[in-house]
Amino acid sequence: MGYNHIAAPHAAEIGAFYERYFNPYLNFHRPCGVPEEVSDAKGKVKRVYRRYATPWEILRELPELAKYLKEDITIQELEQRAGAQSDTAAAAEMQQAKQKLFASFQGKKTA
């Protein structure tokens, strides 16, 4: 989250930031490397990253995906969340919310 100590009274605000902005950004918009294990001629196994995808794109590839979801969450709902914003717009919104969150810490005094 940062390099400085953040006082405990801010925990609820930080939790709300993660739930509203950061986690959706990570799950639906930020690509991560998908490892592939490759063996060389000597049998040494090495991980290579030829493909990058968001966690949602990787999860979507599972056969029978619906059985892994919570009962109240549908594939269509997740698709809608993923398509609601572009990756760049989601990143900008998350960064803006983070700056606002950190600015709110500056103005508050804790005991």
**Rounded mean pLDDT, 41-59:** 94
Q: What is the pLDDT of residues 56-108, one digit of tens each?
A: 999 999 999 999 999 999 999 999 999 999 999 999 999 999 999 988 887 65
Percentage of the chain with pLDDT > 70?
94
Please check whether residue 46 is in contact with residue 104, taking contact to mean a CB–CB distance below 8 angstroms. no
Q: Does the pLDDT of residue 51 top 70, yes or no?
A: yes
The 3 state secondary structure assigned to the chain is: CCCCCCCHHHHHHHHHHHHHHHHHHHHHCCCEEEEEEEECCCCCEEEEEEEEECHHHHHHCCCCHHHHCCCCCCHHHHHHHHHCCCHHHHHHHHHHHHHHHHHHHHHCCCC
Record the pTM: 0.79
